[in-house]
Amino acid sequence: MHDGDLVQYSDVVDALNVVSEVVHRTPLVYSKTFSLWSGSEVYLKLENLQRTGAFKIRGAYNMIAHLAPEERAKGVVAASAGNHAQGVALSASLFGIPATVVMPEKAPQSKIEATEGYGAKVLLRGTTYNDAYEYAMQYCRLTGATFVHAFNHPHVIAGQGTIALEILQERMDLDAILVPIGGGGLIAGIGVAVKAIQPQMKVIGVQPAGSPSTVLSLKNGQRTTLSSIQTIADGLAVKTPGELTFSLIQKVVDDVITVTEEEISEAMWLLLERNKNLVEGAGAVGVAALLNNRCPGLKGKKVAVVVSGGNVDMSRLLALPRKEQSAHFSREDRKPKKALQHA
């Protein structure tokens, strides 16, 4: 899997034909408030409204759709404590095949129940994702089941890239797309699609400052593993980018930036208050980047932000710190800018 050409534009187009039968075509909505505050023309791609509450079903379904009948008969396995688990569970149930999801022992009860609710068997093993992953691989060897990787597989990447096709079918005139990065499957797929259709459009990744594995890897020119991670954006808490995803990112991504924990939690609150969208930390990083001027070159430009998921534990949301009355947006920032009053 060293060849970055393993995923091509045609694979993403094929994936859209496969997944469009089952996934929601999520809305791309103009945000007057965020446009006003950021000085960009901001459109939100709301994958928090996707089935299972996140984009992950796109890649999982596309991969399972490509399995041979005899492979499907033996079932699929995933390791995940989050959105990928639910994407695999629902996809497998739609194909009527068995799914087993291995989660760390301290996985939130709500996520265990949601995954079981979609028809998967959940096994709790180990204390970290890596422990669960190792057990899942062992389980595959014993049972002959197929492992569905959360990001590092061509069919998974192509499935996630279908988001870009939906965005571009609505707006070909965008200057940039902001995309969260965990393992890199989402931005790799989006980048492949965007650069094939609109090569001048910028594809910009966003990571939490407490989990900057891709930023560090790009700086070092090779995949680099973080020693530790600290972020509320648990969907982006990946210590090492995937081998295939990283080789694609090096080719199709223009820049990767970071946002702080405070900026992520503030963006989550603002998305809830101003846009009436419940968004998890991973899904809020793009909005956080725009509102905190992490992309100064995007002022006055048309920007789509991928809001990747909405599976947030409400008790955790209520515990998040926030600034008094969003004080970091001055009164001046809140005044309508004439150029953006058209919507």
Question: Looking at the annotation, which residues are catalytic?
Answer: 56, 308
Inter-residue contact 286 to 208 (CB < 8 Å) = no
Spell 271-304 as b/e; 16+ CB within 10 A means b.
bbeebebbbbbbbbbbbbbbbbebbeebeebbbb
The DSSP annotation for 132-158 comes to HHHHHHHHHHHH-PEE--SSSSHHHHH
Please give the Cα distance from 135 to 95 (Å, whole number).
24
Residue 303 CA: distances (Å) to CA of 30, 42, 193, 206: 10, 5, 16, 14
Helix (H, G, I), strand (E, B) or coil at 34: helix
Inter-residue contact 278 to 52 (CB < 8 Å) = no
Spell 89-109 as b/e; 16+ CB within 10 A means b.
bbbbebeebbbbbbbbeebbe
Length of the chain: 343
Spell 25-55 as b/e; 16+ CB within 10 A means b.
ebebeebbbbbbbbbbbbbbbbbbbbbbbbb
